[in-house]
Amino acid sequence: MQLRALQLLVLAVLITIWYAMTAPGLIPPFYFEQDNRAAFFFGEPQKVFGVVVDWFATGEIFPHLGVTLLETALGFFIGASFGLGVGLWLALSPTASAIMDPYIKGFNSMPRVVLAPIFAVWFGLGIWSKVALGVTLVFFVVFFNVYQGVREVSPNLIANARMLGASQRQLLRSIYLPSAMSWVFASLHNAVGLAFVGAVVGEYLGSSMGVGYLILQAEGTFDINTVFAGILVLTAFALVLDGLVGTVERRLMTWQPKAGQTEKV
């Protein structure tokens, strides 16, 4: 509880500094020549919150937020499913993995954001070009973790399950999948963030809806407060999604020992 209070204190201090430095006329300007320049470049916290409140009060934000979240969710689920499937396949088939290896490495080292314009041409300016970008970002994170996870399954566990009569399918279901799951969840936290990146970057490059579009519009009119408001809303929802992944993880991974856990008698 005390920790929470201190965390809130840090936030309060930051906002106070932000306010003090940008409010015109509050303290004499020491870097900019004019009083209102700081506010022009950095926005003002009370106005930023005003924009956020306004967005939600009028409901103006909802269609945009809905589109961005839909793009993120689709990019996340499609990318994660592909990553899981291909990761399992390549980890369990040494031949396929040896053949694909250079291509996987190539695609992974490519800065995949450069694909965004191509996707815009292929899929248009609607949500699918953003989803495609999100998928390419999410896929590799999940893929590498699953691949690693499956290959690090203890050979003992596999031998034991085989001696107990497990078929290949049962091995996959009872040994490989659960064993890879802890790696998958570790990667999903990153993946959510990347799906968001895919959606917003896609919107920057060309769109007619979405929070990224709102931010771009505001930037065009030098409305820095709205830009910050957009960033704030995106951050808040990224945290919410991350929290959701964490909740699902805790539900499914009850078997994992927690650090320093003692037995409750």
Measured CA to CA in angstroms, residue 109 lies from 98, 106, 118 at distances of: 18, 5, 18
Who's near 204: CB < 8 A, 6+ residues apart? 212, 215, 216
Q: What angle do CA 5, 6, 8 make, to 5 degrees?
A: 65
Minimum gap (Å) between residue 161 Cβ and other proteins: 7
Q: Is residue 34 at the binding interface for other proteins, with CB under 8 A as the rule?
A: no
How many positions of this chain bind other proteins (CB under 8 A)? 23
Minimum gap (Å) between residue 163 Cβ and other proteins: 4
Q: Alpha-carbon distance 196 to 237, whole Å?
A: 9
Both structure tokens of 264: 């409750």
User: Taking a C-beta distance cutoff of 8 angstroms, is the pair 218, 226 a contact?
Assistant: yes
| Other residues' Cβ atoms within 10 Å of the Cβ of residue 101 | 11
* Of residues 254, 114, 118, 252, the one with CA closest to residue 188: 252
Q: Which residue's CB is nearer to other proteins, number 17 or number 253?
A: 253
Minimum gap (Å) between residue 160 Cβ and other proteins: 4
Q: Which residue's CB is nearer to other proteins, number 34 or number 256?
A: 256
Q: Which of residues 148-187 bind other proteins (CB under 8 A)?
A: 154, 156-157, 159-167, 170, 174-175, 178-179, 181
Q: Is residue 109 at the binding interface for other proteins, with CB under 8 A as the rule?
A: no
Q: Which residue's CB is nearer to other proteins, number 95 or number 254?
A: 254
Q: Which residue's CB is nearer to other proteins, number 22 or number 187?
A: 187
Minimum gap (Å) between residue 256 Cβ and other proteins: 8
Minimum gap (Å) between residue 165 Cβ and other proteins: 4
Q: Which of residues 226-255 bind other proteins (CB under 8 A)?
A: 254-255
Q: Alpha-carbon distance 170 to 98, whole Å?
A: 25
Q: Which residue's CB is nearer to other proteins, number 4 or number 264?
A: 264
Who's near 262: CB < 8 A, 6+ residues apart? none
Q: Is residue 93 at the binding interface for other proteins, with CB under 8 A as the rule?
A: no
Q: Alpha-carbon distance 146 to 85, whole Å?
A: 9
Q: Which residue's CB is nearer to other proteins, number 182 or number 190?
A: 182
Q: Tell me which residues touch other proteins (CB under 8 A).
A: 154, 156-157, 159-167, 170, 174-175, 178-179, 181, 254-257, 263
